[in-house]
Amino acid sequence: MRLTGKIAIHIWFAVAATIIEPALSQTPPYTLDDAVELVQKEIGGRVVRAETVQKDDRTVYEIRVLSDDGRVRTIEVDMHNGIQK
């Protein structure tokens, strides 16, 4: 491959990165389905309710779980930071 072809490829990748990366950073790391799966994996039990709520300036998923010992717990999963402890 000639030098001009290699330079064009490097320029293309640099331009693509400046377009694609900001779009990816705007996608939240956790969807409601992701949050339910995370809670089931980390906490166990049976998810009986899951909803999206706004708390202050952030989006939080509230996942209600029926544990194996019969207790109901509400677990908060921050859209960007995961399970809140």
Task: State the Cα–Cα distance between residues 4 and 81, nearest whole angstrom.
Answer: 44
Q: What is the pLDDT of residue 82?
A: 85
Give domain limits for the chain: 3-83
Decide if 36 contacts 63 (C-beta within 8 A).
Answer: yes
pLDDT at 16: 55
Task: Give me the chain's average pLDDT, please.
Answer: 81
Residue owning tokens 């799966």? 37
Structure tokens at 39: 């809670």
Nearest Cα neighbor of 31 from 59, 55, 58 is: 59
Q: What is the pLDDT of residue 85?
A: 61
The CATH class that applies to domain 3-83 reads alpha beta
d(C-alpha 44, C-alpha 36), whole Å:
10
